[in-house]
Amino acid sequence: MILIRSILLKARPTLTRPTLVHSRWYTKNAPPADLPVASYKSLAEATADDFTTQDISFAKVASSQADRVLSLLRSETEGTFLHCLDLLEHSLQTATRAYRDGANEELVVVALLHDIGEVLSPGNHGEVAAGLLRPYISDENHWLLLHHEIYQAHYYADAMNERSTNMTPIDKDLRDRFIDHPHHQHTVDFCEKWDQQSFEQEYDTLPLEFFEPMVRNVFARTPWKYTEALMEPGKSKKELASAYPE
């Protein structure tokens, strides 16, 4: 037995590790010709002149934030039939209902963007929208975005629990854990009147172009100006934002 094992070991081919060759498979983007670029290689060696230069770049990026958000929203069509409508149509319908019910501009934009993170993080999408809008909206609407997916379960949990699967049953009243929170009823109303209702295929939905000026208005706000009693890390982020060019 020992002899056979020795023969097999000698017959085993020697494995040679391949030499790793690092090759770039993409082309580095060159900065636009009209955009000055700072020259530091690490933040620790950046100078005041570098940041003066960078202020110009930052202002350009910040001013186009609404464009990027709207572009992401427009893309949520093919491959986003998580429900009986694609995410764009559901978002437009939710915002349309909010607008027709007399919601203010900020809340209409919240309604429009509340599910924008669902294709990026399906199991935690409320935090994506909440994080995106946090510097520009009230604490009340930020809390709504963070929690709305929990509140939505109230309307579908019974039907989902009746499926013949091994899934752990969902408690339809999870939202009651927050019943004493000052923003609880605001979130209940949002889901009851607009979010959970907005899957009607024949609904007369307003187009995205109608809401674009509202989105631009919200993202044009001075960051953190509309927040109230901030807790960490928001408080520190607000201090950092005060150093950015407006």
How many CB atoms within 10 Å of residue 132? 18
Class of domain 56-163+188-241: mainly alpha
Sign of CA dihedral 201, 125, 219, 194: positive
Please report where in the chains the tokens 């230069």 appear, as a residue. Answer: 53
Per-domain boundaries in the chain: 56-163+188-241
pLDDT digits (tens, 9 = 90+) for 202-213: 999 999 999 999
Copy the structure tokens of residue 190.
Answer: 């949002």
**pLDDT value of residue 212:** 98
**pLDDT value of residue 140:** 96
Cβ 107 vs Cβ 226: under 8 Å: no
Q: Over the chain, what is the mean pLDDT?
A: 87
Determine if the pTM surpasses 0.75. yes
User: Which letter, b or e, does each residue of 33-63 get, where b requires 16 or more Cβ atoms within 10 Å of its Cβ?
Assistant: eeeeeeeeeeeeeeeeeeeebbeeeeeeeee
**pLDDT value of residue 152:** 93
pLDDT digits (tens, 9 = 90+) for 164-190: 677 788 899 999 999 999 999 999 999
Segments of the chain scoring below 70 in pLDDT: 1-24, 79-82, 164, 243-246
How many angstroms separate the CA atoms of 220 and 167, rounded? Answer: 44
